[in-house]
Chains A and B, each alone.
Chain A
Amino acid sequence: MKYNSVFDIIGPLMIGPSSSHTAGAARIGKAARNLLGSEPHWAKIHLYESFAKTYKGHGTDFALAGGLLGFETDDPRMNKALELAKARGLRIEFIEDTSAVSHPNTARLIIGNARDQVELVGVSIGGGKVEISELNGFELRLSGNHPAILVTHNDHFGAIASVTAILAKHKINIGHMEVNRKDLGEEALMVIETDQNVEELVLQELMKMQNILHVSMIVS
């Protein structure tokens, strides 16, 4: 089922005016921040179609900035997020992109700091629900509403089994899982949606496994 909780219907708590343009945008920004793993210093945000046409009137710009600052959808500082980002040294550039995309509410975020960089495409599908459709060049379908673990690994036998074994040991149930690779034997990405948030300890354990290159997490 698309919606599995009463709080998908009565909720989320949010700053108006649009669950798609504001709450969804904040969740996309927050997902990007979580994947970077720390405060971004700069962000280039491409907005497409409806996002590009009406983002100023809907506050999509400040909501994306709020998400990048780690705000929840109902953070009262949300409509001051652009100023707050500036004060915290986060430079944000918005680009109204005319390229064709498959959903009208789409944003491409390229964010980074001195150490790392992350590029993702987020889609706001309605009622505050979002999907991440691309991450660092990998295509995927990740709903931002569930906790998820993202594991970059070498495309090598046993890599997937070693990860799922650790999750099983910690009694973590997998709701949805996808594996993508750029090419045979090259770098690959495991996307694992879980029912509960995963503890840091488990991530550290995953990180120590052979053929695992990077582990990050989206908290819900």
Chain B
Amino acid sequence: MFRTVAELVELAEKENILISEVMIRQEMDAKEKTREAILSEMERNLDVMENAVEDSLKGVNSVTGLTGGDAVLIQEYMKNNTPLAGNVLLDAVSKAMGTNEVNAAMGTICATPTAGSAGVVPGTLFAVKNQLNPTRKQMVRYLFTAGAFGFVVANNAFISGAAGGCQAEVGSAAGMAAAAIVEMAGGTSQASADAFAMTLKNMLGLVCDPVAGLVEVPCVKRNAGGASLAIVSADMALAGVTSRIPCDEVIGAMYRIGKTMPSTLRETGEGGLAATPTGQLLKEKIFGSLA
């Protein structure tokens, strides 16, 4: 049983196995289930993620009209232009936003780790897939690696915006994705940990300030930010860049920052972007018409 990222990496190195394998074995022990049962449950989650991405690329709109259609805009832009950020990165951005657009439109998604941050892990997965050509099994492993890091964060800090701000939500999701990309690209377990740390370091202090309290603005575009940062950090770690602050200490810093964040910036819809004049106007418009 691992409780920290250091323990997770140590377990993987000692047994010479992947981080995803450590997570699979722990789940088998904890739930007294067979490997097949656990792998097939995760594959079902992967299927839902894939369907959400595909649905979003047909174009979706939320009930409020606040979000929807941006994933499609980016795909069209990629067809007609050479994106400055590169195709893999922009594809991840599009698919991460798309998944979160489906979420906002009350479609079916897999909370990863939450609904508000559900786009980052699948968005990056289905973007790097085109370059890394993983097998279906490796795609399932991607989710176990992401889950292993999320598991540490959830048990040592928090994963919800209400508890710790968006750094806990999209921040965790982005770190999880970065670590999983590194494993899929053939990096070491320690490089996965470094990618996680470098991602979360760039998400520290991120507030949760949903307009009208809804999981739409700025959530959808923060999934875009999280996905792009995950890919950049994964590349940094694969290049050999390491985090000077150890991964577990970054998670600890995130926890303490979240604890000291005022409640107006923790999903109450009372501060940040929600409190801007336009944010307030949108809230009145939406709840006026829904009432």
A-to-B contact residues, CB < 8 Å: 1-20, 22-23, 50, 53-54, 56-59, 74, 76, 78-79, 104-105, 126-128, 195
Residue among A1, A2, A7, A57 making CB contact with B290, cutoff 8 Å: A57
Check A6/B23 contact, CB under 8 A, given A16-B106, A58-B214, A104-B162.
Answer: yes
CA distance A203 to B114 in the complex (A): 35
Instruction: Specify the chain A residue showing the minimal Cβ separation from B150.
Output: A9
* Contacting residues, chain B, for A76 (C-beta < 8 A): 108
Instruction: List the B side residues contacting A6 at CB < 8 Å.
Output: 23, 26-27, 42, 144, 147-148, 151
Assess whether B115 is in contact with A22, with CB atoms less than 8 Å apart. Answer: yes
Answer whether A17 and B159 are a contact pair too, CB < 8 Å, given A6-B23, A11-B110. Answer: no
Contact between B115 and A57 (Cβ–Cβ < 8 Å)? Answer: no
Contact across chains for B110 and A13 when beta carbons are under 8 A apart? yes
Q: How far is the CA of A148 from the CA of B64 in the complex (A)?
A: 38
- Chain A residues whose C-beta falls within 8 Å of the C-beta of B212 in the assembled complex: 54, 57
**Given A6-B27, A10-B45, also A127-B214 (CB < 8 A):** no
Query: Are the CB atoms of A9 and B116 closer together than 8 Å?
Result: no
Report chain A residues within 8 Å CB of B155. Answer: 1-3
Is B41 within 8 A of A7, CB to CB? yes
B112 & A10 in contact (Cβ 8 Å cutoff): yes
CB contacts (< 8 Å) of A58 on chain B: these are 213-215
Main secondary structure of the interface of B (DSSP, over half): helix
Q: Is the CB of B115 within 8 A of A16?
A: yes
Contact between chains at A13 and B215 (CB < 8 Å):
no
A10:B115 contact, CB within 8 angstroms: no
- Count of chain A to chain B residue pairs whose CB atoms are closer than 8 Å in the complex: 148
For B104, the closest partner residue in chain A by CB is A17
Quick one: given A13-B44, A18-B115, A74-B48, are A127 and B159 in contact (CB under 8 Å)?
yes
Which residues from A are CB-within-8-Å of B113?
A: 9-10, 127
Which of A10, A13, A54 is within 8 Å of B214, CB to CB?
A54
Residue B239, interface by CB 8 Å: no
Instruction: Indicate whether A15 sits within 8 Å of B107 (C-beta atoms), given known contacts A57-B64, A127-B113, A127-B160.
Output: yes
B side interface size, CB within 8 A: 57
10 pairs from A and B in contact (CB 8 Å cutoff): A1-B3, A9-B159, A10-B113, A10-B147, A12-B110, A16-B103, A17-B105, A50-B268, A53-B213, A54-B212
Contacts of B44 in A (CB 8 A): 13
Q: Give the CA-CA distance A1 to B2 in the complex, in Å.
A: 11
B-side contacts of A9, CB under 8 Å: 112-113, 146-147, 150-151, 154, 159, 176
Find chain A residues with CB under 8 A from B121 CB.
10
B281 within 8 A of A: no
- Write out the residue numbers on chain B whose beta carbons fall within 8 Å of the beta carbon of A12: 110-111
Q: B109 an interface residue at 8 Å Cβ cutoff?
A: yes
User: B185 an interface residue at 8 Å Cβ cutoff?
Assistant: no
Inter-chain contacts of B150 with A (CB < 8 A): 9-10
Interface presence of B136 (CB below 8 A): no
Q: How far is the CA of A12 from the CA of B113 in the complex (A)?
A: 9
> A3 to B215, alpha carbons, bound, how many Å?
23
Residues facing A in B260-279 (CB within 8 A) are 268-269
Q: Which of A16, A18, A126 contacts B107 (CB 8 A)?
A: A16
Q: Is the CB of A79 within 8 A of B154?
A: no
Q: Which 8 A-B pairs have the closest CB atoms?
A: A16-B103, A126-B160, A9-B150, A6-B147, A19-B115, A17-B215, A54-B213, A3-B154
Our pick among B103, B111, B290 for the contact of A11 (Cβ within 8 Å) is B111
Residues in A neighbouring B23, C-beta threshold 8 A:
6
Nearest-CB distance from B249 to chain A (Å)?
A: 20
